[in-house]
Copies of this chain bind each other. A is one copy, B any other.
């Protein structure tokens, strides 16, 4: 800026005015400055500008999701990005991979970078560590999992009810030996879905075979292995409930590999691209990602614009999408 000012024969402050398109600069001067800036390849320094200007605002929004390469997180990230773009903010994204330590480290990093707001799909069990930030005015919106130990907005899905619905769908067709695959029980959504599975049975006054409840299944590969193991048993399940899209995918792979896709019913939680194209098409409990993304972005934007009402807790109802895999009847 100093160089531009020198070349244009004006003060630094005038360059600043031109750069910021402020009124009150003579047209000739404005042009001279712009030419000087162009000749010198001058680039405005947003960090310095924000430092001087704002109550520590950075025009950055942090998005800490579980894994940006997973279709759910990726779609969410995209929604946030679109909302951020409208406000001229940029998105700092990172993946947590269910690692609590990484969450804490990344939140700290983002705070240090003075993000204006934060979207968090937490991997920690409790987020007390966040309360000082929130108290200091950092807008945080939780997505997919509710906050614990800190008061913040959240957009979540009725995991319990969704799972119950999916499992009831299988029960209604006469299945009783229904296996349940879920991720680590420490993960809130996984736990709730497992509980929904149990509740569906209990609503009918029966109990699921505990041997068929497999939790702690991490990723598609583990899902495939778990299903393969189930099918090897003397008394295998007649239906499967997969508590997450990657587990459903693993299950499909295992079933296809054994040619049992059309023999064993399968209901997945969380829809994904192409779920309608596999064979048989996958029946799922769908959480509307686009809607979740929009709601999350809206909440955050409202906070960024100064809304300081008490935390909102939005719960989105999932829906059952019937496609075929979940309607396979039990043997005779």
Contact = CB atoms under 8 A, between A and B. Distances in A.
Interface of A: 41, 43-48, 50-51, 56, 58, 60, 67-71, 74-75, 77-78, 81, 85, 90-95, 109-114, 132, 135-136, 249, 252-253, 256, 272-274, 276-279
* Majority secondary structure of chain A interface residues (helix, strand, loop or mixed): mixed
A217 B26 CA distance: 50
26 contacts: A41-B136, A43-B112, A44-B112, A45-B51, A45-B56, A46-B114, A47-B47, A47-B50, A47-B58, A48-B51, A60-B92, A68-B78, A70-B74, A74-B74, A77-B93, A81-B93, A81-B94, A81-B95, A90-B92, A90-B109, A91-B93, A273-B274, A274-B274, A278-B278, A278-B279, A279-B279
A219 to B, nearest CB: 12
Nearest to A246: B273
Contacts of A78: 67-69, 95
Given A51-B51, A77-B93, A92-B92, 6 more contacts: A41-B132, A71-B74, A91-B92, A256-B277, A274-B274, A274-B278
A98 to B, nearest CB: 15
Contacts of A112: 43-46
One complex includes copies of this chain to the number of 2
Contact of A69 (B46, B75, B277): B75
A58 to B, nearest CB: 7
Contacts of A41: 132, 135-136
Q: Which of A67, A74, A253, A272 has the most CB of B within 10 A?
A: A74
A328 to B, nearest CB: 16
Contact of A114 (B45, B67, B68): B45
Nearest to A290: B69
Nearest to A71: B71
A109 B69 CA distance: 24
A92 B14 CA distance: 31
Contacts of A47: 47, 50-51, 58, 113-114
A91 B94 contact: yes
Contacts of A272: 274
A67 B68 CA distance: 12
A136 B41 CA distance: 9
Contact of A253 (B60, B90, B277, B278): B277
